[in-house]
Structure 1
Amino acid sequence: MSTSLSEDGSVEHNPPTTDDEYRDRLREMPPSAKLVAKVLETDSPLSQGQLVEESLLPDRTVRYALNRLEEVDLVESRYSFQDARKQVYSLTR
């Protein structure tokens, strides 16, 4: 579930994304973001380094894809339980 700020400054909780909304948002993404999302569909949560290994994309491209996916609330991140220095990513749906 994602959150956003309302006009009065209070936090609003957005409902989870439906499959149709997920597909519509993903359709507008660049190919690298689509590939990263597909990798996260099959194996999640993953760190940025693991996404680089699984997708065979360069590190900068994976970072760009993650940023784009986070902008439209398709991916969320949290700190890894195994290594608090790393963040892991998963789909929001």
Structure 2
Amino acid sequence: MAGHATVPSSPEPSSLRALPPSAKLVVKTLEYEGRLTQAELVESTRLPDRTVRYALRELEDEDLVTSRISFADARQRVYSLTTAES
């Protein structure tokens, strides 16, 4: 489709099976929307900040998500799927 961003391939389903539903939702949100800050993930998923923070930690531990310092605000980190930037 013209005008739509390409969607990166999802992480392996087997690597997601053991993760909590909140982490799966964060993966799907990043897959659909691309790079997001924690605050943007909270807004998009409607999950509590603490839940998103835990999900991101789990996903980073599994090497499914990477984070970088935001150029717009060095106090924030931008998260993306590892497969999108491998």
| Aligned equivalent of 1:79 | 69
Over 4 Å off, 4+ runs: none
Task: Give the TM-score normalised by the residue count of structure 1.
Answer: 0.76
Q: Percent identity?
A: 59
Task: Give the CA deviation at 1:81.
Answer: 1.3
Deviations 1:7-48 (Å, cap 9, x if unpaired)?
Answer: xxxxxxxxxxx86x6211111110000000000001121000
Indicate the structure with greater helix content: 2
| Aligned equivalent of 1:46 | 36
Indicate the structure with greater strand content: 1
Task: Give the CA deviation at 1:79.
Answer: 0.5
| Aligned equivalent of 2:27 | 37
From 57, 74, 83, the counterpart of 1:67: 57
Determine if contact 1:40/1:90 at 8 Å carries over to the other structure: yes
Looking at structure 1, the residues matched to 41 and 65 of structure 2 have their Cα atoms a distance apart, in angstroms, of 13
Q: Unaligned regions of 5+ residues in structure 2, if any? A: 1-8
| Aligned equivalent of 2:14 | 24
Looking at structure 2, the residues matched to 80 and 22 of structure 1 have their Cα atoms a distance apart, in angstroms, of 27
